[in-house]
């Protein structure tokens, strides 16, 4: 991450310095910041982003199309010099720059089909999705018409640039970009929070299972920090595992040998990247329950 600016300081900068500060938020389109400059002062970070997106949406069709086409394809193995550092980091965060041969072939085929039908690259806010979710979106959006996909591309660019701008600018009215995933374990035998339960979180994909977090519950039955926070929750499937047999053995609760419940898995899905997902566990040696909490 580069230099972070305050909204107050941005509002006071001359045009060249303003454009240098936020011009790279939009892919190869410093003209967006140049045009948004005239809308100062911006009362909120959200207003700044809305002004910049307004410039894009109001631009002539040919310029808008060229802007969309300047975005990179997903999953390319070619290290193009014209791909911005932000795009490289965003794709790299999901491993799209190091796909297996099978994954690479899948993305190559989808990219080609999409480009042939719409004449633009497939654009999606990678930081809000798992690989499985992106592949589902590819398949779904290939059924759209050209007008719908132009709109979808701009909507996704709005999400991409909102995240980039929030990473660059501090100030009032920052748009919501982060989600939060948390848990809480309650021992229904003692009626108290369960301290010392090992908790592991996995992303569960069609071709892989990735460990995201491993921690223990504290005296409140919670984890010291959220399982995921400070970033969007990626749309996709997840699994929380709770080592309840070890917990009940340590607490002295009666259980069978071997324990009826060893590790309790809870498989769930995330659909709201900026939402709060609280997944509690209410457990005894013989039963458990869960729900989406708050």
Q: Are residues 203 and 164 in the same domain?
A: no
- The whole-angstrom separation of Cα 104 and Cα 25 is 28
Q: Please state which of the ranges 5-14, 51-60, 72-81, 173-182 shows the lowest mean pLDDT.
A: 72-81
Q: Are residues 160 and 199 in the same domain?
A: no
pLDDT one-digit tens code per residue, 100-118: 778 888 888 999 999 999 9
Question: Which pLDDT band, with edges at 50, 70 and 90, does 84 fall under?
Answer: confident
Q: What is the pLDDT of residue 89?
A: 80
Q: Which residues contact 174 (CB under 8 A, 6 or more apart)?
A: 44, 45, 46, 166
User: Using an 8 Å Cβ cutoff, are 222 and 183 in contact?
Assistant: yes
Q: Phi first, then psi: what are they for 214, rounded to 5°?
A: -145, 125
Q: Are residues 166 and 218 in the same domain?
A: no
Q: Does 82 or 259 have the greater pLDDT score?
A: 259
Kindly state the average pLDDT of the residues 121-150.
95
Q: Which of 234, 258, 236 is nearest to 246 (CA)?
A: 258
Q: Are residues 145 and 28 in the same domain?
A: yes
Q: What is the pLDDT of residue 94?
A: 73
Structural tokens at position 64: 């808008």
Burial environment of residue 139 by CB neighbours within 10 A (0 to 12, 13 to 18, 19 or more): exposed
Which residues sit opposite 202 in a β-bridge?
211, 239
Whole-structure pTM value: 0.90
- The whole-angstrom separation of Cα 98 and Cα 46 is 34
Residue 78 has pLDDT above 60, yes or no: no
Q: Where residue 228 sits, what CATH number does that domain have?
A: 2.60.40.180
Q: Are residues 14 and 116 in the same domain?
A: yes
Question: Which pLDDT band, with edges at 50, 70 and 90, does 171 fall under?
Answer: very high
Q: What is the pLDDT of residue 102?
A: 81
C-alpha distance from residue 192 to each of 7, 88, 255 (Å): 46, 47, 18
Kindly state the average pLDDT of the residues 167-189.
97
Q: Which of 139, 170, 201 is the last residue before a domain boundary?
A: 170
If one counts the domains in the chain, the total is 2
The neighbour count for residue 217, using CB atoms within 10 Å, is: 23
Q: Are residues 74 and 9 in the same domain?
A: yes
User: Using an 8 Å Cβ cutoff, are 55 and 36 in contact?
Assistant: yes
Residue 294 has pLDDT above 70, yes or no: yes
Kindly state the average pLDDT of the residues 82-96.
76
Q: Are residues 81 and 130 in the same domain?
A: yes
pLDDT one-digit tens code per residue, 249-291: 999 999 999 999 999 999 999 999 999 999 999 999 999 999 9
Q: Are residues 166 and 43 in the same domain?
A: yes
pLDDT one-digit tens code per residue, 228-257: 999 999 999 999 999 999 999 999 999 999
Q: What is the pLDDT of residue 173?
A: 97
Q: Are residues 58 and 158 in the same domain?
A: yes
User: Up-side HSE of residue 251: CA atoms within 13 Å toward CB?
Assistant: 22
Q: Which of 170, 195, 210 is the last residue before a domain boundary?
A: 170
Q: Which of 170, 202, 229 is the last residue before a domain boundary?
A: 170
Q: Are residues 34 and 127 in the same domain?
A: yes
Q: Where residue 12 sits, what CATH number does that domain have?
A: 1.10.3330.10
- Scan for tokens 């499937």, then name that residue: 237
The whole domain housing 45 covers: 5-170
Q: Are residues 93 and 201 in the same domain?
A: no
Q: What is the pLDDT of residue 107?
A: 86
pLDDT one-digit tens code per residue, 44-75: 999 999 999 999 999 999 999 999 999 988 87
Q: Are residues 46 and 131 in the same domain?
A: yes
């Amino acid at each position: 991450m580069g230099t972070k600016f305050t909204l107050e300081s941005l509002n006071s900068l001359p045009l060249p310095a303003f454009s240098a500060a936020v011009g790279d938020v939009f892919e190869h389109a410093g003209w967006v910041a140049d045009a948004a400059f005239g809308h100062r002062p911006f009362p909120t970070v959200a207003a700044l982003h809305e002004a910049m997106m307004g410039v894009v949406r109001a631009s002539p069709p040919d310029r808008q199309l060229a802007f969309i086409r300047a975005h990179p394809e997903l999953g390319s193995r070619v290290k193009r010099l014209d791909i911005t550092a932000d795009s490289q980091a965003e794709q790299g965060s999901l491993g799209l720059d190091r796909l297996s041969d099978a994954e690479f072939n899948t993305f190559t085929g989808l990219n080609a089909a999409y480009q042939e039908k719409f004449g633009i690259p497939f654009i999606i806010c990678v930081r809000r999705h798992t690989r499985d979710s992106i592949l589902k979106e590819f398949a779904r959006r290939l059924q759209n018409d050209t007008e719908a996909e132009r709109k979808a591309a701009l909507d996704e660019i709005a999400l991409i640039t909102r995240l980039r701008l929030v990473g660059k600018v501090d100030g009032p009215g920052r748009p919501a970009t982060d989600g939060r995933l948390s848990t809480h374990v309650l021992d229904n035998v003692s009626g108290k929070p369960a301290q010392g339960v090992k908790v592991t979180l996995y992303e569960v994909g069609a071709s892989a299972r990735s460990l995201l977090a491993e921690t223990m519950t504290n005296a409140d039955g919670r984890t010291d920090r959220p399982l995921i926070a400070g970033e969007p929750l990626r749309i996709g499937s997840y699994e929380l595992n709770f080592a309840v047999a070890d917990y009940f053995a340590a607490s002295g609760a009666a259980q069978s040998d071997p324990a009826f419940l060893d590790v309790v898995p809870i498989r769930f899905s995330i659909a709201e990247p900026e939402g709060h997902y609280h997944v509690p566990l209410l457990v005894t040696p013989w039963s458990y329950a869960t729900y989406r909490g708050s």
